Amino acid sequence: MSAEKQRNLFGTDGVRGMANVTPLVPETMVRLGKAIAAVFKDRGSARRHRIVIGKDTRLSGYMLEQAMASGICSMGVDVLLVGPLPTPGIAFITSGMRADAGVVISASHNPFQDNGIKVFMRDGFKLPDEIEHRIEKLMESEELNRMCPNGAGIGKAFRVDDARGRYIQFLKGIFPSDMTLDGVIIALDCANGASYANAPMVLEELGAKVHAIGVEPDGENINLDCGSLHPEVIAEEVRRTGANIGIALDGDADRVVFVDERGDIVDGDGIMAICALDMLDYERLKKKTLVTTVMSNIGLEHAVEKAGGKVVRTRVGDRYVVEKMRAGGYNFGGEQSGHLIYLDYSTTGDGMIGALQILAVMLKREKPLSELAAILEKCPQCQKNIAVRERKPLEKMLSVTKAIHNAKTTLGQDGRVLVRYSGTELKARVLVEGPDHSMIEEIAETIVEVIREDIGE
């Protein structure tokens, strides 16, 4: 059995669930903090070990932060508290401060009632499956209790007051030095999340006029009718303000969705097409290859291949995209949902890096986003989600496998079907691509109904 199958706590993007409900309770977080510290502590070294902890703007972040910090300190490891900061910012700080690991307390795009834990290694990359499995096994072991020091060996916690400033300077340094955003009007939605302070400042200091919304977090309004899950909100702001572009981040700012000057949505597939083709033109796309997931539209493959490149697909999850990129020596990849990974600059998905790259292409090409996005001709695609009681193996549900087989037979070579479980929510996701909207809508709904009958809530 693989390490991934044996994991009970970690999903496709760390730990996720409702705050103050197992496992997102203080008791478990103390234990998790102890296990993380134990894994990353070099017990043969006399130096002080340090782990960064950052969070988004959720109310429960205070509770979980304190519990996690207590567990880490109890193992003789110091804690660096950076407060609210985007997930990619915490990866940057972890690497930049030469910490032993970084912990992000966030449930990304989920509602405020949820929370989660993501962990970065000292190089800023997310944990591989085998280390997550090792942490889980250690949490279950009595050995963990015997590893706790006492006396002067207990860790300390420190506030890092300039973390936000460091990250802002890093982002500004990525934008081409011979360009400014003078005269560019930007509508920006920070989802009342972790980017509420840094994202507007980056764009304004580069010269843009910014109309910012979603910048008044109260602990409960993160992702609430705003951000990348609700691009219609920033679309309306673009129309209202006459902005040149709309940028919508999610709660932890590791993903981004755009709106062009007309108010039309441009998702991750569109942005990957624009940037991949630009990088191909300037011979900056390593091995002429874009890495994306099975969720991306087949039209993205066609656009990249037409320009002389190729697309490599991987399973859903930005960390699997990163793993494929590192293994293959590639430097650009992402997801349809808006995770954009530029390994030349960052170790993980970063919504603001994606935004700065698109703005640079717009200025360089002297074209509006609507014209740039026209290079991607999407195949009709239908996606449906259904809440489920359990993640029962699909192959064990005969009615579901039959429905999927029938759908693939109907579509033949003209489409594809993908059915999977969400790694962060108790939901099944159905994707169907094909030549006709009404056909794929009907096929997707048929599969959803069969799933509902078997394991629906």
Q: pLDDT tens for residues 311-330? A: 999 998 898 999 999 999 99
pLDDT number for residue 131: 94
Give the Cβ contact number of residue 425 at 10 Å.
Answer: 18
pLDDT number for residue 6: 57
- 426: tokens are 């108790």
pLDDT tens, 170-223? 999 999 999 999 999 999 999 999 999 999 999 999 999 999 999 999 999 999
pLDDT number for residue 202: 98
Architecture of domain 266-355+366-373: 3-Layer(aba) Sandwich (3.40)
- 123: tokens are 């190089």
The domain 381-455 having CATH identifier 3.30.310.50: the answer here is: yes
Decide if 108 is catalytic.
yes
The domain 166-263 having CATH identifier 3.40.50.2020: the answer here is: no
Q: CA-to-CA distance for 82 and 55, rounded, in angstroms?
A: 8
Under DSSP, the state recorded for 388 is B
pLDDT number for residue 116: 96
Q: Which among 304, 267, 271, 262 is positioned nearest to 287, based on CA atoms?
A: 304
CATH superfamily placement of domain 3-161: Alpha-D-Glucose-1,6-Bisphosphate, subunit A, domain 3 (3.40.120.10)
Catalytic residue among 60, 74, 106, 108: 108
The pTM score is 0.89
Query: Is the Cβ–Cβ distance between 321 and 297 less than 8 Å?
Result: no
**Ranges of CATH 3.30.310.50 domains, the chain:** 381-455
Residue 380 CA, distance from chain mean position: 25
**Ranges of CATH 3.40.120.10 domains, the chain:** 3-161, 166-263, 266-355+366-373
- Locate the DSSP E strands across 393-446: 416-421, 427-433
Residues of the chain with pLDDT under 70: 1-7, 43-44
Residues ≥6 apart with Cβ < 8 Å to 178: none
